[in-house]
Amino acid sequence: MSIAATGGSQAELTVRYAHALMNTFGAPKRVFVRGEGVHLWDADGNRYLDLLAGLAVNALGHAHPQVLGAISAQLSTLGHVSNFFATPTQIALAERLAGFTTVNDPGREARVFFTNSGTEANEAGFKITRMTGRTKLIAMDGSFHGRSLGALALTSNPKYREPFEPLPGVVEFVPYGDAEALAAALDETVAAVIVEPIQGENGVVEPPSGFLAQARELTASVGALLWIDEVQTGIGRCGAWLASSDSGVTADIVTFAKGLGNGFPVGACVATGAAASLLGPGSHGTTFGGNPVAAAAGLAVLNIIERDGLLERVTAAGERLASRVMALGHPQVTAVRGRGLLRGVVLADPIAPAVADAALDAGFVINAPRPNVLRLAPPLVISDADLDRFVAALPGFLDGAST
């Protein structure tokens, strides 16, 4: 590839982007050319502190040498075989994910279907629910589960859904965290209830404590599956392999993706107990899912999180970050939600997009999932000093955007 085809200023590249790519994401705010650790560089040479990590993806930061080593070692040994065949890396990663998913019920059977994304992991989950012989599903208001037609059917935002209706159904939505409403909606026609432990896309919203345990009890009482979407919250993001595991529950289906490959596309649908055997030969498939390079990336990520004690570190760093932001005493900051290093800074006014833009101009990548919420999802390896740098700068962005 010639340098002319990939080089250029941000202004030039942004014009070419607008001609060459579908406008599904709006105009890109920056064109990035390089990443290393917690930093990114744009095409004009400016450096940024990455507090979004590719949307909770780059858990170990950019260009992590050991993830790189694992990927290139696997790629130079065996890059791909079809799913007519198996590879040791794929089996090893499946065993690890199965173990995480059954941590509250060790010994329970758990089996994995690998995918390339969170959406596809949820599509696999959706197909598992159909194999129960029931079709009705219950999802939560404020949910996000992906953009394919199946995953979209489970996603509550009418703006995303309505242009694409009819969507596969029947899906009923109940208020997030409302056990009474869930109980009222559940009966023996319901195949499954899908829930996020924390709603990241909805602005880092947590249900009342005890909700997942109630959902487990309620679903079990009518023979429905409990399906927990850990695509954003899992793999250490919230200080545990599963954000839902401290609730004590074991779900029938758990979906993973974002942080698992540190940027290498890999997703997984894990089903436990009887649900682990609902998909049989011919009932689902994928060409790329479970390929050994993606599996090697996932295994490297898990090994490094474990070796470096990152689960404990994420919990401590997240609590420290939240208390420092609250200690600013800024009139715009009304709360800091979330757990570990998935945090939503709730603002008094709907100025979050302007605050995120000001932060970007000053060299901090964050985003605004809602008009009054800033989301922080930095690499799990970020230092206190880097987080403090952002906290110190935040009042300036808030003041600038509120005037």
Ligand X SMILES: *Cc1c(COP(=O)(O)O)cnc(C)c1O
User: Residue 232 interacts with ligand X (CB under 6 A)?
Assistant: yes
Closest separation in Å from C-beta 118 to ligand X: 2
User: Residue 145 interacts with ligand X (CB under 6 A)?
Assistant: yes
Interacting residue with ligand X among 113, 114, 126, 144 (CB under 6 A): 144
Q: Give the pair of three-digit tokens for residue 140.
A: 């939560």
Q: Is 136 a catalytic residue?
A: no
* Active-site residue, from 126, 258, 264, 386: 258
User: Residue 146 interacts with ligand X (CB under 6 A)?
Assistant: yes
Q: Is 229 a catalytic residue?
A: yes
Give the HSE-up count for residue 136: Cα atoms under 13 Å, Cβ half-sphere. Answer: 13
Q: Which span sits near ligand X by CB under 6 A: 59-67, 163-171, 228-236, 377-385?
A: 228-236
User: Residue 227 interacts with ligand X (CB under 6 A)?
Assistant: no
Q: Is 144 a catalytic residue?
A: yes
* Active-site residue, from 32, 126, 136, 229: 229
User: Residue 58 interacts with ligand X (CB under 6 A)?
Assistant: no
User: Residue 196 interacts with ligand X (CB under 6 A)?
Assistant: yes
**Range 99-118, binding ligand X (CB under 6 A):** 117-118
CA distance 338 to 213: 18
Q: CA-CA distances (angstroms) from residue 381 to 19, 41, 186, 320, 355?
A: 37, 18, 41, 14, 24
Q: Single out the residue of 372, 338, 336 nearest to residue 354, CA to CA.
A: 372
Q: Which positions from 156 to 195 touch ligand X by CB under 6 A, shown as an x/- string?
A: ----------------------------------------
Closest separation in Å from C-beta 402 to ligand X: 29
Q: Which span sits near ligand X by CB under 6 A: 12-20, 38-46, 196-204, 380-388?
A: 196-204
Q: Single out the residue of 257, 262, 266 nearest to residue 230, CA to CA.
A: 257
**Range 254-273, binding ligand X (CB under 6 A):** 257-258
Provide the total of helices (H) and of strands (E) in the chain, helices listed first.
14, 15
Amino acid at 206: E
Report the residue closest to ligand X, judged by CB: 118
Contact, 204 vs 343, CB < 8 A?
A: yes
Q: Which is nearer to ligand X, 61 or 200 (CB)?
A: 200
Q: Give the pair of three-digit tokens for residue 245.
A: 């595991």
Bridge partners, residue 336, by sequence:
345
Q: Which is nearer to ligand X, 124 or 358 (CB)?
A: 124
**Range 122-141, binding ligand X (CB under 6 A):** 122
Query: For the chain, first and last CA: distance in Å?
Result: 47
3-state secondary structure of 18: helix
Closest separation in Å from C-beta 242 to ligand X: 13
Contact, 237 vs 203, CB < 8 A?
A: no
- DSSP assigned state of 62: B
Q: Which is nearer to ligand X, 254 or 358 (CB)?
A: 254
CA distance 349 to 275: 45
Bridge partners, residue 110, by sequence:
272
Closest separation in Å from C-beta 77 to ligand X: 27
178 CB neighbour count, 10 Å cutoff? 17
User: Residue 292 interacts with ligand X (CB under 6 A)?
Assistant: no
Q: Which is nearer to ligand X, 129 or 232 (CB)?
A: 232
CA distance 18 to 27: 7
> Which residues are catalytic, by number?
144, 229, 258
Residues of this chain that bind ligand X (CB under 6 A): 117-119, 122, 144-146, 196, 200-201, 229, 231-232, 257-258
